Structure 1
Amino acid sequence: MTLGATITPEGIRFAVWSSSARRLWVSLFDDSGAREIDRLELKPEGEGVHALLVPGHGDGTRYGFRADGDYAPERGLWFDPDKLLTDPYAVEVDRRYQYHWRLAAKRNEGADTASLMPKAVARSLPEPVPAKPPLFQPGGLIYELNVRSFTKLHPDVPEAQRGTIAALAHPAIIEHLKRLGVSAVELMPVTASIDERHLPPLGLSNAWGYNPVTFMALDPHLAPGGLKELRDTVAELRKAGIGTILDLVFNHTGESDRLGPTLSLRGLDALAYYRHQPDGRLVNDTGTGNTVACDHPVAREMVLDTLRHFVRHAGVDGFRFDLAPVLGRVDGAFDPDAPLLGDIAGDPVLADRVLIAEPWDIGPNGYRLGNFRPPYLEWNDRYRDDVRRFWRGDAGAIGALATRLAGSSDVFGEEGRPTSRTVNFIAAHDGMTLADIVAYERKHNEANGEQNRDGHNDNLSWNNGAEGETDDEAIATARSSDQRALLAALFASRGTIMLTAGDEFGRTQKGNNNAYAQDNAITWLDWAGRDQALEQYTSSLAALRRAFPALAHTRFLTGEPADGSEIPDVAWLTETGVPLGESDWNDAGRHRLVMLLGDSEGERLAVMINGDRRQCVFTLPARDGFEWRPAIETQPVDLARPLPGRCVSFLIERRR
């Protein structure tokens, strides 16, 4: 079934689905969107579809829907014809959503909401982008970024363009991404969203966008040029060899809990679009107040149509799914073979796209790391936590570190699969920045207005310099070393890796680990004050990863020879150059090891890890006719000299 506003030679066909509404209308507005010029009742066409062909209207027409039926929130029924509703299939809205209490008023207790609501805009969609395989391949580098904060302060981007999707196509931005070896940018949500109702009274706004109203229409704030802006930017990035992944939120909407606003799905058919308890209460597996019923056939098709829309008309490489277990819940329980997950992976338009799951929600048995089927990649928070534990100095962390560096076979080696589906990361948008991990032992979310109660309490972070250290320069040096060590571990890890924008040059949020409500200098990247030495080091790590392909392989490290080689793909050594024995692995105080990688060309790369604060001389095994050389120009290494504490160093074995 074709839903939404379809422009034809005869006019516009408006169509919307509801299984429970008794009557539905389309409201048409003038070009400013301020005045309702007509209200036309839609006609039932069967199977819940209500539609009407309206002659005399075309591209640019502003509209919304209205629905009438029973009003009984305790039974999941919210019909109120005074609520103007956004088309779930809207491809454009004329302005941003702003919360107002009347949007959440009970029926007959609030005035008509048309003046408060953005209007959907009917658009003729461009011809589909020619089908091309995604540029991004597993094992590459994903660069997660918030569109607005990324360029808001960038001095080379024209001021009028800063903070928009178009800014990502600026030559200065593309050059930065290329220096880092970025395979694909992952854009945090760019669809139209609304602030949570508690934010406006605090003078705050949602800076992340994880509170959508509908799923296709872009946020006019981020994409003033609409779909064309996204399409053109994706094309420019592709010319530079960089793919685009969209972070999409299908698990909930900004209509929130029972006290939330009626904006779209709730007013059309809340019982169908949202999951409910047997007693009529909304299920809250997302922590936001509602949960989309992704096992309902109409909701499933809406998700699929959204994904196809962004592939066909914007040419994106793929998608990251926020709280992805919701997409796999059938009758409330997660099923890796859920219809929607299978439909996405098997769809002719979507089957070759990059698919990334955030494998947890807060519902029953909601932690599902490792439980998605191929081809889904998964955010690996066990990688994040185990690597942080090692560099924090936790006892007994060396075995977990090696497992994470080798691809996390304990998580993703199910059914004997030889390759990893991990997305390794040290820090992401949700949590402390890389720089803050080594500078703040505890979160500092006071600016969020919730008395520091929000956000995670267990950050596995540390304050480098807290032990009576008063030398500011020494503290800064120690923190810089720890950041370099964390970055080096990330770039030396098997599987896909993800870096959050700004972590390559020391961005800070002053300890705020839940900065979703900070559309200000807390989250805006400080390009003028960035740590350029750290940025250069990160670029060097990226160059090494490209030069030694074994680093980016997705095959688990096994200790067996690599393809076409007699050299084992990995050997785990002590700092003296001998294999780690059982007693070494079980030594809770051990914080040193060597990961000796081999590749199909017969070369070896030594990743020497000194997690101790004391310096140490490392010894590597020698081969006749070969010599060890520094693998990174900015990091000269001499085996005759001790390696500093808290560092990762790289040597590559080449023929003399």
Structure 2
Amino acid sequence: MNLSFSKLDFLKPELGAEYIGTGTHFAVFSAHAEKVELCLFSNDGKTEVARLPLPTREGDVWSGFIEGIGPGTLYGYRVYGPYDPVNGHRFNPNKLLLDPYAKQVFGELRWDDALFGYHVGHVEADLSFDERDSAPYMVKAVVQDPEFDWEGEQAIRRPWTDTVIYEAHVRGLTMMCPGIPEQERGTFQAMGHPAIIEHLSKLGVTAVELLPVQYFLDDRHLVERGLRNYWGYQPLGYFAPARRYLSNGSIQEFKSMVKAFHAAGIEVIMDVVYNHTGEGSELGPTLSFRGLDNLSYYRQSPDGRHTYDMTGTGNTLNAAHPMVLRMVLDSLRYWVTAMHVDGFRFDLASALGREEIEFDREGGFFDAIRQDPVLAGVKLIAEPWDIGDDGYQLGGFPPPFREWNDRFRDDVRRYWRRDPGQLPTLAQRLVGSPTEFNHSGRVATSSINLVSAHDGLTLADTVSFNERHNEANGEDNRDGHGDNCSDNLGVEGETGDADVLAARSRRRRAMMATLMLSRGVPMVLGGDELGNSQGGNNNSYCQDNEIGWVGWSSSDEDFLCFCRRLIAFRFDHPLLRDDSFLDAELVTWLRPDGQVLTHEDWHQMEQQAMGVHLHDTEDGAGGDLIMVLNAGADCRFFLPEPRDGWRWRRMLSSAEASFAARDADNVEEIPEQGVVVFAAARRSQS
């Protein structure tokens, strides 16, 4: 093999390692480097077999082509330049660097002080310089063959109005699923197993949103405590699937999983973390971006030495830099075009909208995505906050972005907890949160509604614990949200009290019904439909064990059946899924006595029941709906007169988990902690 660079007869503008049949082209960005070396390794990753300076620099892209090497080749980079931390430069060629465009990662990172560009523990801290070789402890990139048989697979592109999202963790959902062989559990292969596909199909969800699956690190402090990064919010490789989820090491497993979901009509959305990387602050390791060009890849504080942290992780990726923005866009396009995913949920998305320091909804990141022909057509979801100044931007993102609506979660929890004065906020959530989203041409599905998510208490724990119980995290129970808007209904945690258990089940059904009957896009936390508990842990980010995994063996089959029928009910009634915001002609708010709620009624602190009359403007499209929500004691509700030729049918009662349709009386009993839905039906209908 000729381990030297050859000349290409044509231009290769792509970054990363690209196999082109006769050899592989390597290209990497660094604006401030003085020299970039490509390092090739033996098949076991232990021996560096060649170190070759990239011969070509055009602008700030360093590149070269090696004839005769192809898929499976292991490689990394060493980059030369000034080591001048005071001015933001941290080049250290003793540190092997992962290609930011690596499509696959080989090996496991083993924490050692040699991975740091400075002497850990030195009196001058990061101003010192470490000369040890980090390669023995570092992962390597793998050249990939992009070929895959996608025959028969097609993108689904389901409308937002017909979308129900299921947030899931690859390991968490599959590690204890009884229908999956033990050797497959915890992998993409398990995620695409018929047992999971069948469960989600029967549940009725239309999209699975995977917690981070791009290559990420286990934090050193967690490893030293015998824990690991379970959630995956410490990314290092934006193009590579996480190796821990590959049962045989091949990225084709991810593609096979996507193909299986698509065959079942289920879209795949990825939770992506482009706001920071796993390299941490200036005291973190030198693994990739920091050694390639720290000053370009990361936002720096005014003094130049320190990373600017608006993410709570030690650094913030500088998405305002054109080449960093290009990397993010290239990554997104890769997952859509090569891996066939259907959308993205952007972690701490406010950080991506900061051109300098302030959030700008018309900034470069949003403009670039909206004009991109590949990305403009996929599902885009923002987590609308970061920890910087004015980081909370719910409702502030431009179309076509949707946004996680944490106010929906908190307001629904407070209402069913019987907090006083909750009717006005609950009304907002039921009709798509118009105060936040009814502007700039946005629609009701701009709101991603949720009552629980990976970050916080599960639905079962929301009705079982007043306090967080994160002792297993080893942080003295100080981590995680302090206010969860939860209620243990009389006993903290597990209990055998039948009355308490019945009350918890009733409230769970009421909260899930509220979620599925509200305008917007509902999102279910994976395992909630089974009654999954994490023992009150509301920050299971480091619990890759039975705390964080879904407990299939203790599945609440009655609640699972209720959730299936509830999702089906949503799809059966177009009024619940409409994209428009409701004006006064389309919705009437009712008191239990059947009268329209007055201004004074809205502000009665003790009022805990109301009716929502949704008017169907298209005759024959399903008729009107009345939803009655009652967080208080049993009450009587007076139904308004239906339109001529129509009658009311009682369709759903969450308190009894009943979907037995019957003709309604003029006055109906509404049970405590219950949601009851009435639908208009033509009198000729049975």
Could you tell me the TM-score, scaled by structure 2's length? 0.91
1:112 aligns to what?
133
2:289 aligns to what?
265
Q: Where does the alignment leave 5 or more consecutive residues of structure 1 unmatched?
A: 561-568
> Counterpart of 1:617 in 2: which secondary structure?
strand
Structure 2 residue 606 is matched with structure 1 residue 594 = no
Stretch moving more, 529-538 or 287-296? 529-538
> Counterpart of 2:676 in 1: which secondary structure?
strand
Q: Distance in 1 between matches of 2:181 and 2:54?
A: 46
Q: Deviations over 1:316-370 (max 9, x none)?
A: 1111100111111101221101111111121011111111110100012111111
How far off its partner does 1:592 sit? 0.1
Stretch moving more, 527-536 or 470-479? 470-479
Alpha-carbon RMSD across the aligned residues, in angstroms, is 2.0
Q: Deviations over 1:161-187 (max 9, x none)?
A: 211122222222112112222121101
> Counterpart of 2:237 in 1: which secondary structure?
coil
Structure 2 residue 573 is matched with structure 1 residue 573 = no
Q: Is the 8 A contact 2:417 2:486 kept in 1?
A: yes
Q: Distance in 1 between matches of 2:498 and 2:86?
A: 61
Q: Distance in 2 between matches of 1:417 and 1:34?
A: 54
Q: Is the 8 A contact 1:139 1:495 kept in 2?
A: no
* AA matched with 1:621: P
Instruction: Provide closer, same or farther for how the CA distance between residues 121 and 440 of structure 1 changes in structure 2, counting only shifts above 3 A.
Output: same
1:322 aligns to what?
347
Q: Distance in 2 between matches of 1:395 and 1:381?
A: 20
Instruction: Provide closer, same or farther for how the CA distance between residues 262 and 138 of structure 1 changes in structure 2, counting only shifts above 3 A.
Output: farther
1:359 aligns to what?
384
Alignment of 1:449-464 (within 5 A): 449-464=474-489
Aligned match of 1:537 in 553, 558, 562?
Answer: 562
Paired positions, count: 647
Q: Is the 8 A contact 2:433 2:444 kept in 1?
A: no
Q: Distance in 2 between matches of 1:183 and 1:165?
A: 18
1:307 aligns to what?
332
Q: Distance in 1 between matches of 2:225 and 2:163?
A: 40
1:626 aligns to what?
646
Aligned match of 1:231 in 255, 265, 272?
Answer: 255
Instruction: Provide closer, same or farther for how the CA distance between residues 85 and 138 of structure 1 changes in structure 2, counting only shifts above 3 A.
Output: farther
Aligned match of 2:629 in 609, 617, 620?
Answer: 609
Q: Deviations over 1:560-583 (max 9, x none)?
A: 2xxxxxxxx322111222211222
Q: Is the 8 A contact 1:423 1:496 kept in 2?
A: yes
2:277 aligns to what?
253
2:462 aligns to what?
437
Q: Distance in 1 between matches of 2:57 and 2:492?
A: 72
Alignment of 1:158-197 (within 5 A): 158-197=181-220
2:122 aligns to what?
none
Q: Distance in 2 between matches of 1:520 and 1:180?
A: 25
Q: Distance in 1 between matches of 2:131 and 2:487?
A: 51
Could you tell me the TM-score, scaled by structure 1's length? 0.95
* AA matched with 1:593: M
Q: Where does the alignment leave 5 or more consecutive residues of structure 2 unmatched?
A: 1-12, 120-128
* AA matched with 1:512: N
Structure 2 residue 573 is matched with structure 1 residue 552 = no
Stretch moving more, 460-469 or 75-84? 460-469
Q: Distance in 2 between matches of 1:16 and 1:33?
A: 21
Q: Deviations over 1:38-97 (max 9, x none)?
A: 111112422111112122311110000111112222322211111110000000011343
Q: Distance in 1 between matches of 2:380 and 2:567?
A: 23
Q: Distance in 2 between matches of 1:365 and 1:470?
A: 42
Structure 2 residue 490 is matched with structure 1 residue 473 = no
Instruction: Provide closer, same or farther for how the CA distance between residues 469 and 16 of structure 1 changes in structure 2, counting only shifts above 3 A.
Output: closer
> Counterpart of 1:388 in 2: which secondary structure?
helix
Aligned match of 1:527 in 552, 557, 563?
Answer: 552
Alignment of 1:136-147 (within 5 A): 137-138=160-161, 140-147=163-170
Aligned match of 1:50 in 41, 46, 62?
Answer: 62
Q: Deviations over 1:518-557 (max 9, x none)?
A: 0000011111111111111111110100100111122112
Q: Distance in 2 between matches of 1:469 and 1:511?
A: 10
Alignment of 1:119-518 (within 5 A): 119-126=140-147, 132=155, 134-135=157-158, 137-138=160-161, 140-224=163-247, 226-280=250-304, 281-415=306-440, 417=442, 419-466=444-491, 472-518=497-543
Aligned match of 1:93 in 105, 111, 114?
Answer: 105
Q: Deviations over 1:192-223 (max 9, x none)?
A: 11122211121110100110012011111113
* AA matched with 2:294: A
How far off its partner does 1:110 sit? 5.5
Instruction: Provide closer, same or farther for how the CA distance between residues 418 and 290 of structure 1 changes in structure 2, counting only shifts above 3 A.
Output: closer
Instruction: Provide closer, same or farther for how the CA distance between residues 110 and 149 of structure 1 changes in structure 2, counting only shifts above 3 A.
Output: farther
Q: Distance in 1 between matches of 2:213 and 2:137?
A: 21
Structure 2 residue 639 is matched with structure 1 residue 650 = no
Aligned match of 2:96 in 64, 76, 84?
Answer: 84
Instruction: Provide closer, same or farther for how the CA distance between residues 381 and 472 of structure 1 changes in structure 2, counting only shifts above 3 A.
Output: same
* AA matched with 1:20: H
Q: Distance in 2 between matches of 1:119 and 1:444?
A: 38
Structure 2 residue 606 is matched with structure 1 residue 583 = no
* AA matched with 1:124: D
> Counterpart of 1:26 in 2: which secondary structure?
strand
Stretch moving more, 256-265 or 171-180? 171-180
Instruction: Provide closer, same or farther for how the CA distance between residues 16 and 469 of structure 1 changes in structure 2, counting only shifts above 3 A.
Output: closer
Instruction: Provide closer, same or farther for how the CA distance between residues 128 and 159 of structure 1 changes in structure 2, counting only shifts above 3 A.
Output: closer
Q: Distance in 2 between matches of 1:358 and 1:405?
A: 20
Aligned match of 1:74 in 58, 62, 86?
Answer: 86
Stretch moving more, 322-331 or 38-47? 38-47
> Counterpart of 2:135 in 1: which secondary structure?
coil
> Counterpart of 1:25 in 2: which secondary structure?
strand
Q: Is the 8 A contact 2:493 2:535 kept in 1?
A: no
> Counterpart of 2:679 in 1: which secondary structure?
strand
How far off its partner does 1:109 sit? 3.4
* AA matched with 2:90: W
Q: Distance in 2 between matches of 1:157 and 1:74?
A: 53
1:563 aligns to what?
none
Instruction: Provide closer, same or farther for how the CA distance between residues 468 and 424 of structure 1 changes in structure 2, counting only shifts above 3 A.
Output: closer
Instruction: Provide closer, same or farther for how the CA distance between residues 433 and 396 of structure 1 changes in structure 2, counting only shifts above 3 A.
Output: same
> Counterpart of 1:491 in 2: which secondary structure?
helix
Q: Is the 8 A contact 2:155 2:342 kept in 1?
A: no
* AA matched with 1:653: A
Q: Is the 8 A contact 2:176 2:549 kept in 1?
A: yes
Q: Identity, % of aligned pairs?
A: 44
